[in-house]
Structure 1
Amino acid sequence: MLTEEQKAFYAENGYLKVDSVLTADQLSRAQSIVTDWIEGSRSVTESDDLYDLDQGHSAETPCLTRVKLPHRNDPFFWDLLTASRVTEVLNDLLGPSTIINTSKLNCKAPGGGAAVEWHQDWAFYPATNDDLLAFGVLLEDMDEENGPLMVIPGSHRGPVLSHHHEGHFCGAVSPDDPDFDLSKAVTLTGRAGDMTVHHVRALHGSAPNRSTRARKILFYECASADAWPLLGASSYIHGLGQQGFWADLQDRIITGEPCFTPRLEQVPVRMPLPPAKDNTSIFRTQMSGGMKSAFG
C-alpha cells in the first residue's frame, strides 16, 4: 500500500497523509452509521458508555465531543480496521502482528466544537517501545476552518514534554514550554475518505470548529504486538487482572499473533501520575487540568 518514500517520510516526520483510503461504499456506510449515532444522542442528557457530550448538547442540537469505541459498537468499524486499505497501512508501518488499544469517533459540532489541546499520546500510555500510532480516518471534508488535526513534524524524535499542571497530570502541554514550538506546526487537511497517521510521540492538537460544517474523524490507536503497556499508565487494562488482561488482549488482536516477548527499547518516558482529576476522557482531563490553552 505505502511506497518506500511514504514510509521514509513517516519515519522522519512522525506523521503521514494517505489519500482515498476508504472506498466510496465504505465511506457511505461509515457516514450512515455515524449519522444514526448522532441522531440517537438526542435523547441522552449525560455522557454515558457510548457518548461524550459537548457543552450545549440538546435534543434539538446534538453536540458531541466523542462516540466511544466504534469498533466495539458496530462490527463495520472492526472490519474496516482488519480487512481494508487501513489494514495494509497498519502492517506497512507496524509489522505483521498488531493490536488495537482503543478507538473513538471525535466529533466537533459546527460553531465551536471543542478543541483538543496539544499533547503526545505517549504521555497517556507509554509502553516498552514506541511502535504505536493513531489513524485518523476523515469522514467529512476537512479544511483549516473546521478544526483539523495539527502536528509538529519531527517531534516524535524529541523529548516527552510535561503534561502536568499544579501537581497533576492534565493531558496537555504548556504553550510556554521551551520545547513546544507552534510555529513548526503542520495542518492536515483532506477529503472525506482520506486518512492521517501520527506517531505516538508526535505533538499534535486541533483547534475548535469555527465553521458551519461538522468535523468527524474516526481514530484508531494501534500498537505493534511487542509494545507492552507500562504499569501506571492511564488505561483500563490495569484493573483487569491477569486473566482479564489475557482475554482482553485476544479481543484486541488486529493482525498476526499475540507476543509474549515484549521488546524493550531505550525510549523517554514520563508517567501520567499523580493521575488527572478527571480521566474519563481526554476532553475532561484537559478541562479539569486547568492548563493554559495554546489556542487562545
Structure 2
Amino acid sequence: MPIVSESPTPLVTAEHLRQFEEKGFFVLEGVIPQAHLEMMRTACVDLIDQIDERADEAGKPRTTKYFFSVWDEPQGANPVKDAARARVKEFVFSDLMARITQSLLGDDVYLSYEQFVVKAAEKGGTFAWHQDSAYVPFAHDPYLTCWCTLDDVTEENGTVYMLPYDRAGTRDLVPHTKLEDDFDLVGYRGDDPGDAVIAPAGSIALFSSHVLHRSGPNTTTRRRRIYLPQYSSAPLLDSAGKPLYIAEPFLKDGKRVQ
C-alpha cells in the first residue's frame, strides 16, 4: 500500500502549517467529496430521528443541542447506529483524512473520538469558550479536531469561533469551570469575540485541542449539522492503559492500517 504523503498535490500547504503553528487552526473549504457528505448527512438525520422518537415515546421534550457518537454502542446493539457507523467509517478512514492527518500529526495516526454536533432550527443553543482537551481527565498531548461542515455555516446558524493562540495568551491547557445546570466547561471569560468560521458545506476547520473556541445560537429555520472526528498521534490512554474513547489505528509509519 502506498505511503500517504506521496500524493503530488498536498491538501495542507506550507501556509496552512504556518497558520496552524501560529494560530492553532485553519480551514479547508469544500474538500469533502459529495458522496461522503451525503452519506454523513443521511447518518446524521437517521440518528436524530431515532433520538427524537425515543424522546417522544418517553414523554420528554426534544433536545435543542444534539451531540451523539456512532462508536459508543457495540455492534448489533443498535441497527440504526450500525448503519450510520458503516457510512461514517468510509469518511473517517478515507484517503482525504489520511492526507490531512498525516500532514498535521505525522506518520502514526489514531482515531480518538467522533461525534455529530447538531443545533436545532431557531433554538439550537450556544457552546461556551473551551478547549477540547479540557474534557480529557488525564495528561495527554494535544490532538487534532476536524470540524466538518455538513451544512453551510454562518454566524446566524451558530458557527464556531476560534481564539488564536496570541490573543488567548497561551498554547497550553487552561483551567476550566463547569457552567451551572449545563455540561459545558468554560476556559475563557474575556471579551474577545474570536474569529468566525464562515464556510460552505463540505469544509473542514482543523484545530488543536488546545485552541479555545465557542459557538453561537442557531437562529435560522434549518438545522446546523457538524461531524467531528478527532485524531491523535498516539492513543489517549488513562493511567491504567485504558483508552478514553476510541483508539483505532489509522496510519502506521505513514501507511494505511484501516
Q: TM-score, normalised by structure 1?
A: 0.67
Q: Report if the CA contact (8 A) 1:123-1:171 is conserved.
A: no
In the alignment, which residue of structure 2 is the partner of 1:36? 46
Report how many aligned residue pairs link the two structures: 227
Q: 1:8 aligns with which of 18, 34, 41?
A: 18
- Unaligned 5+ segments in structure 1 are 47-54, 232-237, 258-296
- 1:197-246: CA deviations, max 9, x gaps? 11110001111211112100000121112x65454xxxxxx6xxx5xx38
Letter of the structure 1 residue corresponding to residue 19 of structure 2: F
CA distance in 1, matches of 2:40, 2:123: 24
Check the 8 A contact 2:147/2:226 in 1, yes or no.
yes
- Could you tell me which amino acid in structure 1 is paired with residue 115 of structure 2? K
Given the two structures, how large is their TM-score scaled by the length of structure 2? 0.76
CA–CA separation in structure 2 for the residues paired with 1:148 and 1:120: 16
1:152-171 map, 5 Å: 152-154=163-165, 155=168, 157-164=170-177, 171=184
The structure-2 alpha-carbon separation of the partners of 1:83 and 1:256, relative to structure 1 and needing over 3 Å to count, comes to same
Pick from 136, 146, 151 the counterpart of residue 140 of structure 1. 151
Q: Which residue of 1 aligns with 2:249?
A: 253
The one-letter amino acid paired with 2:228 is F
Residue identity opposite 2:252 in structure 1: G
Q: What is the distance in 1 between the residues matched to 2:33 and 2:26?
A: 19
Q: How does 1:109-188 map to 2 (within 5 A)?
A: 109-125=120-136, 126-130=138-142, 132-154=143-165, 155=168, 157-164=170-177, 171-173=184-186, 176=189, 180-183=190-193, 185-188=194-197
**Residues 81-140 of structure 1: CA deviation (Å, up to 9, x unaligned):** 11231221111100111112211000101111121111111222254432x110011001
- Select which of 55, 61, 68 maps to 1:45: 55
Shift of 1:164: 2.4
Structure 2: 5+ residue runs without aligned partners?
1-10, 74-80, 254-258
CA contact (8 A) 2:30 2:202 kept: yes
Question: Alpha carbon RMSD of aligned pairs, Å?
Answer: 3.1
Letter in 1 for 2:110: I
Q: Which amino acid aligns with 1:67?
A: F
Q: Distance in 2 between matches of 1:101 and 1:94?
A: 13
Counterpart AA for 1:11: E
Retained in 2: the 8 A contact 1:65–1:114? Answer: no
Q: Percent identity at matched positions?
A: 20
Contact 2:43-2:88 within 8 A present in 1 as well? no
Larger RCO (alpha carbons 8 Å, 6+ apart): 2
Query: Which residue of structure 1 lines up, in the alignment, with residue 76 of structure 2?
Result: none
